[in-house]
Amino acid sequence: MRGPKDLAHRVLDEIDRRRSLDERTSPATKIALRRLFLEYRRLAREGAALPSVWDTGFRVFSQIDEDGLLLFLLAAAEEGPRTLVDLGAGDGVVASNCANLLLNLGFHGLLVDGNADLLTQAQRFYRRHPDTKRRPPVIVEAFLTRENVNDVVRGAGVEGEVDLLSIDVDGNDYWLWDALDAIDPRFVVAETHPVLGLEDYVMPYEPGFDWRKAPDELRHGASPVALAKLGERLGYRIVGANLYGFNVVFARSDVVPAVPGISVEELLRRTSTGFST
């Protein structure tokens, strides 16, 4: 039986969580982010020198520094539809590549995950939060495979060009991106495993793969080399990665021409910290 101290700790933890959330979506935070966004856009439109993508990262909601990286790239690109698709969204907030865009920069989108409990949290959060309650993201429960991913996305009413596709399903990420043709993303964030170095490796496709049940010795996902080859075949180039290199950002070939492509060798050199997911 939990005593008064346990209850007090839970109350204090909830207060801290809410305070942190309030700070991350405060008017001051929004103003700062939008000023930075507009400054990047001004530089891009004037043809001025842009900062190195490696200097733009910071975290608001993302796991590492993806929020800053994505803000920079989306700002440097011409105006898009302000929509996103998040495959493997979890609760839509913790370590999310998309929450900052949804809450602070006025984007709309689709969140998909196979965990019903996490999606219940996402629905409750976005329907109650003042920044999204009038137009919350579309939230769909589905265990994604390459056979159903297009039906799931189209069934949610999403099709055509979107600004961002984020894929993080801890296994079949490569195969989902390869199969997904319902949308035409301007940018793609996909998980890779830099510990595989320059090996050209893709996990064999398993429709029912669940990383939580996989043997510890099993190598899953795809290497940076394999993911870069897939991106090139689909018309994308690497333009950035998070600090540790496991979330790689691709730009469609016609988007942000002023931002140079990045080789796998540079990616590994820049992010060789020994960290693995």
User: Cα separation of 184 and 161, whole Å?
Assistant: 4
- Per-chain mean pLDDT for the chain: 91
| Confidence at residue 215, expressed as pLDDT on a 0 to 100 scale | 59
User: What is the per-residue pLDDT for 127?
Assistant: 97
- Position 133 scores a pLDDT of 96
Distance CA 197, CA 228 (A): 12
Say whether domain 4-270 belongs to CATH 3.30.70.3270: no
**Which neighbouring-strand residues pair with 185?**
162
Band of the pLDDT at 275, cuts 50, 70, 90? Answer: very low
Residue 25 has pLDDT above 60, yes or no: yes
What's residue 41's pLDDT? 97
What pTM, to 2 d.p., does this model score? 0.91
- pLDDT tens digit sequence for 36-56: 999 999 999 999 999 999 999
What pLDDT shows up at residue 22?
Answer: 86
Q: How far is CA 241 from CA 57, 112, 196, 264, in A?
A: 9, 22, 16, 11
Average pLDDT rounded to a whole number, residues 244-260: 96
The reported pLDDT for the residue numbered 159 is 97
* pLDDT of amino acid 220: 80
* Predicted pLDDT of residue 17: 60
pLDDT of residue 218: 61
Confidence at residue 273, expressed as pLDDT on a 0 to 100 scale = 53
Mean pLDDT for 13-19 is 54
Residue 10 has a pLDDT of 54
| Structural domain boundaries in the chain | 4-270
Lowest-confidence pick of 129-143, 159-173, 209-223:
209-223
- pLDDT digits 0-9 by tens, 197-247: 999 999 999 998 886 776 555 678 999 999 999 999 999 999 999 999 999
